[in-house]
């Protein structure tokens, strides 16, 4: 019996996690974000109504579900309140069904200023961050100077640590980056004002989840970003600053690994990436235009055009292992409709050593020297958008899907054939208990 599911991205983010969390959270009791911040952009489309969530879990359309932000989510109170109010304007009220971990770290204006200053400074080798202050906020946490949400209960303590951090960051902003400094007084008063609006939401997430798991409550853990943006397992240094792969669930919520019932890895049937860094199967031909425009590949957070490419099974296999996936969810099949041929990377070739290899390059330099080796499949002309039954898919689509399953040795449990909630094929019917 599956009581809880981890839903995480296994590419460079934007795999369609939001749609799948929304789909599977209807009968859940809780949906928990365990890492990242408002760098995420998760899109829900239900009956043509579109909602993009950055911080709040993707279960908001189901009124009986409680949303939780775990201890390793980094939170800008300003961004959180903006999102709560934006939802309110759409008649979605989350104030009474949102819980914030007492130990989550906060993002302040100085994190955002430093993030932007660094990106400007290193323009040639920049990461291409979302400029939301994510990296600096996680640095503070590791350096043990982060301000946690529960520090705000004690105003004079908060004042003291805020002052110290503002001095630290203003020194860098002014002397190293030659940028504008931030005002400590302004941050203090704004933060207290914001805190008063959300302090009733703060709770002990770890205790709550552990006792709910004993009661067999239904829980979804919602990943942000994707495993290739994981600080440890991704394409470092072109990554985000948290563990977006499976380990992040335990460290980011305070539950143990034995409690996880099922891990669903989400990947598109092709690849995209926003920001800089290695992307072996990247396209720049007419197929890039096809993916961009038919797949609407523009960032949900920054609006940037996403880079596009073929599906890379070398990478996928590694991410399947790292996350010990129970099943795969493949999305955006409909975007492949009409392509003459579909390529899928099954091996790499090293331009320097002239060797073929089956694994992920282990250092930054090697990424530059690899060329993908492709297997080519015939495309199909039929429309797959909205198909809900595997048997109804075109023959060539089935061939491509069966190959992915055989190559990766993991069962394809869900297939998404359109952005709407119900445009989905359930292959593993156990997952239907969640809808």
| Residues annotated as part of the active site | 14, 42
278 lies in the binding site for ligand GDP (CB under 6 A): no
- Do 357 and 347 form a contact (C-beta atoms < 8 A)? yes
Size of the site for ligand IMO (CB under 6 A): 24
Q: Using CB under 6 A, pick the residue from 140, 312, 334, 413 that binds ligand GDP.
A: 334
Which of 275, 419 has the CB closer to ligand IMO? 275
Q: Which is nearer to ligand GDP, 15 or 212 (CB)?
A: 15
For residue 287, state whether it binds ligand IMO (rule: CB under 6 A). no
Q: What residue 103 binds from ligand IMO, Mg ion, ligand GDP, none (CB within 5 to 8 A, per partner kind)?
A: none
276 close to 304: Cβ distance less than 8 angstroms: no
Pick the piece of the chain touching ligand IMO (CB under 6 A) from 126-134, 313-321, 351-359, 397-405: 126-134
Strand, helix or coil for residue 311: strand
Residue 306 lies near ligand GDP (rule: CB under 6 A): no
Report how far residue 394's alpha carbon sits from residue 403's, in angstroms, rounded to the nearest whole number: 14
**Beta-carbon-side half-sphere exposure of residue 73 (alpha carbons within 13 Å):** 31
**Only segment of 218-226, 288-296, 318-326, 344-352 that touches ligand IMO (CB under 6 A):** 218-226
Q: Is 312 helix (H, G, I), strand (E, B) or coil?
A: strand
Verify binding: residue 394, ligand IMO, rule CB under 6 A.
no
In terms of Cα–Cα distance, which of 308, 367, 368 is closest to 332? 308
* Smallest distance from ligand IMO to CB 358, Å: 26
How would you classify the pairing of strands 341-350 and 370-378? Answer: antiparallel
Question: Which residue's CB is nearer to ligand GDP, number 17 or number 317?
Answer: 17
* Max CA distance (Å), the chain: 67
Which ranges of 45-154 does DSSP label H, i.e. alpha helix?
Answer: 77-89, 109-121, 134-142
What residue 135 binds from Mg ion, ligand IMO, ligand GDP, none (CB within 5 to 8 A, per partner kind)?
Answer: ligand IMO
| Residues contributing to the site for Mg ion (CB under 5 A) | 14, 41, 300
Judged by CB under 6 A, the residue of 128, 203, 247, 379 near ligand IMO is: 128
Nearer to ligand IMO, 14 or 420 (CB): 14
Tokens of 44: 């829900």
Between vectors from CA 162 to CA 184 and to CA 190, what angle results, nearest 5°?
55
Looking up tokens 């302040």, which residue turns up? Answer: 108
CA atoms of 153 and 334, how far apart (whole Å) = 50
Among 5, 7, 11, 18, binds ligand GDP (CB under 6 A): 18
In whole angstroms, how large is the CA radius of gyration of the chain?
22
214: phi > 0 → left, psi -120 to 50 → alpha, else beta; which? alpha
Q: Is 16 in the site for ligand GDP (CB under 6 A)?
A: yes
With CB under 5 to 8 Å by kind, the binding choice for 134 among ligand GDP, ligand IMO, Mg ion, none is: ligand IMO
Structure token digits, residue 124: 């040639």
Q: How far apart are CA 11 and CA 13, in angstroms?
A: 6
Residue 248 interacts with ligand IMO (CB under 6 A)?
A: no
Contact 20, 43 (CB under 8 A): no
Shortest Cβ distance from residue 306 to ligand IMO (Å)? 8
Residues at the site binding ligand GDP, with contacts judged by CB under 6 A? 9, 13-19, 41-43, 45, 296, 300, 331-332, 334-335, 416-419
In the complex, which residues of this chain contact ligand IMO (CB under 6 A)? Answer: 9, 12-14, 39-42, 127-130, 132, 134-135, 224-226, 229, 240-241, 274-275, 300
């Amino acid at each position: 019996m599956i009581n809880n599911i981890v839903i995480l991205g296994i590419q460079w983010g934007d795999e369609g996690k939001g749609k799948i969390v929304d789909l599977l959270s209807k009968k859940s009791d809780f949906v928990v974000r365990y890492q990242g911040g408002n760098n995420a952009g998760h899109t829900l489309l239900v009956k043509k109504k579109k909602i993009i969530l950055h911080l709040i879990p993707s279960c908001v359309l189901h009124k009986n579900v409680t949303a939780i932000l775990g201890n390793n989510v980094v939170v800008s109170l300003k961004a959180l309140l903006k999102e709560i109010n934006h939802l309110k304007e759409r008649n979605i009220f989350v104030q009474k069904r949102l819980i914030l971990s007492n130990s989550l770290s906060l993002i302040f204006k100085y994190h955002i200023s430093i993030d932007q200053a660094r990106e400007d400074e290193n323009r040639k080798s920049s990461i291409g961050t979302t400029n939301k202050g994510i990296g600096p906020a996680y640095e503070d946490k590791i350096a043990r100077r982060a301000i946690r949400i529960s520090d705000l209960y004690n105003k004079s303590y908060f004042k003291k640590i805020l002052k110290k951090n503002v001095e630290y960051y203003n020194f860098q902003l002014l002397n190293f980056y030659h940028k504008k400094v931030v005002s400590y007084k302004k941050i203090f008063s704004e933060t207290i004002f914001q805190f008063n609006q959300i302090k009733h939401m703060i709770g002990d997430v770890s205790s709550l989840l552990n006792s709910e798991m004993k009661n067999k409550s239904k829980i979804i853990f919602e990943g942000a970003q994707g495993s290739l943006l994981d600080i440890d397992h991704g394409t470092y240094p072109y990554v985000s600053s948290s563990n977006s792969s499976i380990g992040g669930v335990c460290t980011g919520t305070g539950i143990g690994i034995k409690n996880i019932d099922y891990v669903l890895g989400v990947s598109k049937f092709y690849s995209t990436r926003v920001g800089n860094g290695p992307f072996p199967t990247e396209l720049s031909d007419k197929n890039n235009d096809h993916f961009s425009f038919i797949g609407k590949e523009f960032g949900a957070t920054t609006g940037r055009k996403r880079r596009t490419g073929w599906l890379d099974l070398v990478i996928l296999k590694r991410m399947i292992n790292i996350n010990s996936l129970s099943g795969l969810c493949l999305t955006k099949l409909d975007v492949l409709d009409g392509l003459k041929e579909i390529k899928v990377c099954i091996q790499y070739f090293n331009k320097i050593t002239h060797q073929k290899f089956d694994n992920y390059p282990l250092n930054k330099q090697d990424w530059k020297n690899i060329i993908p080796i492709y297997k080519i499949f015939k495309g199909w002309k039929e429309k797959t958008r909205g198909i809900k039954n595997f048997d109804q898919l075109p023959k060539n689509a089935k061939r491509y899907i069966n190959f992915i399953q055989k190559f990766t040795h993991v069962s394809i449990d869900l297939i998404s054939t359109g952005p709407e909630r119900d445009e989905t094929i359930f292959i593993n019917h156990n997952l239907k208990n969640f809808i």
